Structure 1
Amino acid sequence: MLAKYANITLTKSDIGYYVLNNLDVLQRKATPAEVIEQIDKDRKNRIERKVHTDGKASSYDVQHINEQINYLELANLVIIDDKDVSINPNEMETVQMFADEYNSDPMFDCSAYNFDTVEGRKLFSQKWNEYFSTLSNVSDKFATSIQALSPTTEDKKEDKKKSTTGNKVELGDEGEEFIFEYEKKRVSAFNARLASKVIALGKQKGLGYDIQSVVAEPGDKAEYVKYIEVKSTKRVTAPDIDSTTWYDTLNITRNEFVAAQQHGDYYAVYRVYFTRDGVTVFVMNNIKKKYEDGKVEITPLTYRVDFSSKAVDSVLDTSIGG
């Protein structure tokens, strides 16, 4: 932000040398204003500084720098243009929050977890989700709207107007609508007569699925009912399905899990990713079987407590002091 005010375009090398590889900056002994002042001074004196370790290839120094900057891009907070890095103006509320808190301790201690093991990464992910869903009073500022994923150029304005998604409910609605339209086209292409059997049921509570469709594949089960639960999320880029370390997390309700158990092969979860490049959908059939085979993990995070008057020990007199 200070670089923008000073009319300075930061590069990956600038961020790497003056910030990510500068212990005084990382320990908050040097302020952001001092960093920008030094960058401006060096540029005026035509001094170019880069991280370099004697006896090591350049990749040794830049790998961790590029990874950190890539994380910022994946969080949709910056836009990278070749070597230049700038703030994503669509995410100014979140950027401003970080700017206001730059001199405070982190709200979550990432160093307490072991990222060298799958178990450690999963524990971190679980604790991170628990913290920002239950404790943090700023969690809403980490929500990225679908339109915020789009570059802020004139030719994108009309596309941005079409999408009003700004919260989880609207995101879910948009994901369900996308899959509903997809299923109608898929089923109609197989047999136009069956298209009317694709029904959007997301607004009906307690069913355990959002869309009722049909199998619509060659064979004697073509007209069998197919139950689809849609889970939508936003990412800057689509997941790499070929990656051996990638995994994702989604939440399902008790009704959804019961429906998955009841309908087996005919129940599917459609994971919808809205990204800068479009929409990617992963399909997981028969979650119940995958759970039994150890291909997915299902962890209860909340418990419903049903009680009657027999369990009540006392009733507070709330009129005290009134």
Structure 2
Amino acid sequence: MTHAEIALKADRLTKRFGQLTAVNQLSLSIERGAIYGFLGPNGCGKSTAIRLLTGLLIADEGEVTVLGQPLAGHEEALKSRIGYMTQKFSLFENLTVLENLRFVAAIYSVKGVQAKKRIDELLQLYGLSERQQQLAGTMSGGQKQRLALACATIHHPELLFLDEPTSAVDPENRRDFWERLFDLSAAGTTILVSTHYMDEAERCHGLAILEHGIKRADGAPRELMQSMSANVVEISGDSLRQVKQRLSALPDVISAAQVGNHLRVLVSKSVDDAIGLLTPFSDNYDLALVRPSLEDVFVSCTGGRHVG
């Protein structure tokens, strides 16, 4: 990618809080118009990384370039070009939908006729026209989510940061939300979104898997699945819990987890014959190599440390 094609670049970004290193040597490059995801469990550094990339936190080490400009020293100038939707609903619950939109418009110096036109456009776009006089605090999770996204994009940001935006909504609203993100992406907005949902991570053009503030993997979801450092064996049969216990004790087994009537086993690629390794411990069971999923990639990258 050329310099003009890169919307966001981080180089060895590090942030410490006392003895805790929340973000450790994070480097990434995000193309303009792409949807890029941070995938990881709670406490892995996703929110801290986003705050560093927006300038809300100052890094102890490393550099960030936002829309072609160094972030350091240009935070105020870049505020009008980026949008940020926090994990927790952060608008005023005692104000109406319309009042919240007007307030945020004023913050971004969207005024007068331009503000009215933009607010009317967003109310219609996000299905809030009939609720513009409703107090934000009385809305459902999905409605609050749409309002928060409307506020985050009221000034037409070139770069949009979303910190676990769908954590409090149902699957139908999550799906609708992602369709809206793709509309923004198609219009040229670059989006960085954090999530712990595998299905959302698969929707991203590119993603980083984070653990303990460290980037364990980076790339397009399909590429990550194709290059996974483990083979996946699916075992079918009865009494799978006993089989799982036996297989989990093997040093070359990264993870074994039951999915319905199957056992999904991740075996290190250092083993030439994964099925041959497992067969002596799985008599009278059906074993087959299967394609890896993004969840398999995540488990492989983290050594199964976040799987129950």
- Normalised by the length of structure 2, the TM-score is 0.29
Structure possessing the higher radius of gyration over alpha carbons: 1
Higher relative contact order (CA 8 A, sep 6+): 2
Comparing both structures, which one devotes a greater share of its residues to strand?
2
Q: Give the structure with the higher percent helix.
A: 1
TM-score by length of 1: 0.28
